[in-house]
Amino acid sequence: MKRAFSGVGARLALALFVVLAGALAIVYLIVVPSLESRLVNGRVSELERAAPGIAKELPADRFLWPDFLEAASASANGRVVVYDTVGPPTALVIAGDSQAFRSTDVQRDPIALAAAERQRAVSGTTTHGDQRFAEAAIPVPGSSAVLLVSATLRESLATVRVTRERLLIAGVFALVVALTVGYAGSWLFARRLRRLERAAERIAAGNFDEPITDSGSDEVGQLARTFDRMRQRLAQLDHARREFIANASHELRTPVFSLGGFLELLRDEDLDEGTRREFLATMSEQVDRLAKLATELLDLSRVDAGRLRIERRVVDLDEVADTVVDEFTGLAVAGDRPLSLSEAGSAYVLGDEQRVLQVARALVENALVHTPPGTHVQVRTSEGALGVEDDGPGIPAAHLEHVFERFYRVEGQRASGSGLGLAIARELAQAMGGTLELDSEPGRTVFRLRLPVADAVAPVEEHVSV
Ligand SMILES: Nc1ncnc2c1ncn2[C@@H]1O[C@H](COP(=O)(O)OP(=O)(O)OP(=O)(O)O)[C@@H](O)[C@H]1O
Ligand SMILES: [Mg+2]
């Protein structure tokens, strides 16, 4: 319940209520009084306009006054009184006394007294008994009399009272409606926000399965859609992370189990020397494989954590090609895969020499390992690029897209690595501002590392963390 009143819904409804109540108060306190004064003033000025005419037309003969004044009273729609002002003003003739008030009320009428005293027209409102009257008094020209025209304000004031009452009723009704509609509307709004909040909590708890839906086209709807895109992205990342861990542990487990098996076999004391050497050689291979895998995993984790240090200097691709060919000549000869070199002469790029070497090694190693004996492998440099080409059977088209993915290997191929080499190579190429491209068809496979071309004279020193 506490939440219901402290929530955004209740606050919005309350704000609406306060604004509406303020508007109604202004209407009530300003509009109603001005309506009242307009009606009263209107009545007073009607009488002001009628009084001089009646005073002027008043017959000289006092015996004619009652009839004359009766007619005048009817046309002015009020009571007409003539006072004698010799001595204290006394009402001489009172006409139009039909309006249910006592004639004696007018004996000491303040407006008539004021007109008699000042000898000029006076008008205004006055109260007789419990009723208000609009009045206009004027001295009768050429005599000592004062004429008073007076009309009750009962109807006008009743109109004002009715208006005020209706306004009050309408106001209370409008406030109740505003509070209800405002609260309901903002409750619906707040409910959408609460749904988003629950979705965020689900995501925070690691549950990415349930989609976040909100059909609205407003800001909350947009927020929900953005939220859902974030959820999908997180789900992908989470999936990739789990897959990575599963793959990595699988890759680690195989050589470790194999080593364990060989250790068991080596315990056998009757083992002849030849077999022992064979076992040790295989074990050494497995350890190499483990070491390579550990390095690759470390590289990948650095890339993912954005902690890979990449230098940006001028690198001579020809030098890199020389080094790599030298390093792999032994392996190439042993595997009967001729390794040759074709240099551009000047192929300077911007990059990190160690990382360029690492990429070149991965490519040459692949060309020597994933091809049948007799395959020719060539390392070729050109402006801004280092290519590793082989005339092996190539990579089937269906796999071309995937060989750069982590842990991806083309099935049924002779040598099996862990499938991380190309993934890392591409990450490194991109980290140096370059690309790693692949073209493969039966008889010709080319991996090409392209890097930003450098001006050989002006080495740029810069460290980039990727
Ligand atoms: N020159 C090539 N010719 C034919 N297939 C290749 C060639 N280079 C790569 N491949 C295929 O692409 C796959 C992915 O290569 P990648 O270097 O990423 O992994 P790997 O060599 O299997 O393992 P790692 O390099 O991590 O030891 C290889 O398993 C292989 O099937
Ligand atoms: Mg490889």
Least confident piece of the model among 106-115, 161-170, 379-388: 106-115
The residue whose CA has the least distance to atom 2 of ligand 1 is: 367
Ligand 1 contacts (CB < 6 A) are 296, 362, 366-367, 370-371, 390, 392, 395, 403, 408-410, 413, 417-423, 445
The residue whose CA has the least distance to atom 27 of ligand 1 is: 417
Could you identify the atom of ligand 1 that is nearest to the CA of residue 423? 18
Q: Calculate how far, in angstroms, residue 403's C-alpha sits from the geometric centre of ligand 1.
A: 7
Distance between CA atoms of residues 354 and 352, nearest Å: 6
Could you write out the DSSP letters of every residue in 242-298? HHHHHHHHHHHHHHHHHHHHHHHHHT-TT--HHHHHHHHHHHHHHHHHHHHHHHHHH
Could you identify the atom of ligand 1 that is nearest to the CA of residue 296? 26
Neighbours of 115 (CB within 10 A): 26
The residue whose CA has the least distance to atom 17 of ligand 1 is: 421
Alpha helices in 84-153 (DSSP H): 110-118
Nearest bound ligand to the CA of residue 442 = 1
Mean pLDDT (the chain) is 87
Task: Specify the 3-state DSSP secondary structure of 442.
Answer: coil
Does the pLDDT at position 229 exceed 60?
A: yes
Around ion ligand 2, which residues have CB less than 5 A away? Answer: 366, 417, 421
Tell me how far CA of residue 256 lies from CA of 259, 279, 282, 286, in angstroms. 5, 14, 12, 8
Q: Calculate how far, in angstroms, residue 388's C-alpha sits from the geometric centre of ligand 1.
A: 13
Q: What is the pLDDT of residue 105?
A: 64
Residues of the chain with pLDDT > 90: what percent? 48
Q: Which residues contact 426 (CB under 8 A, 6 or more apart)?
A: 404, 436
Tell me which of 251, 299, 370 to substitute to probe ligand 1's pocket, judged by most ligand atoms within 8 Å of the beta carbon: 370
Q: What is the pTM of this model?
A: 0.62
Does the pLDDT at position 88 exceed 70?
A: no
Could you identify the atom of ligand 1 that is nearest to the CA of residue 409? 29
Does the pLDDT at position 417 exceed 90?
A: no
Find how far residue 7's CA is from the centre of its chain.
19
Least confident piece of the model among 55-69, 74-88, 341-355, 452-466: 452-466
Encode pLDDT of 175-220 as tens digits: 888 888 888 888 888 888 999 999 999 999 999 999 998 888 888 8
Encode pLDDT of 244-264 as tens digits: 899 889 889 988 999 999 999
Q: Calculate how far, in angstroms, residue 402's C-alpha sits from the geometric centre of ligand 2.
A: 13
Question: What confidence tier does 458 reach under pLDDT thresholds 50, 70, 90?
Answer: low
Q: What is the pLDDT of residue 99?
A: 47
Q: Calculate how far, in angstroms, residue 462's C-alpha sits from the geometric centre of ligand 2.
A: 29
Q: Calculate how far, in angstroms, residue 236's C-alpha sits from the geometric centre of ligand 2.
A: 26
The residue whose CA has the least distance to atom 25 of ligand 1 is: 421
Could you identify the atom of ligand 1 that is nearest to the CA of residue 445? 1
Q: Calculate how far, in angstroms, residue 393's C-alpha sits from the geometric centre of ligand 1.
A: 13
Task: Specify the 3-state DSSP secondary structure of 397.
Answer: helix
Encode pLDDT of 377-398 as tens digits: 999 999 999 999 999 999 999 9
The residue whose CA has the least distance to atom 19 of ligand 1 is: 419
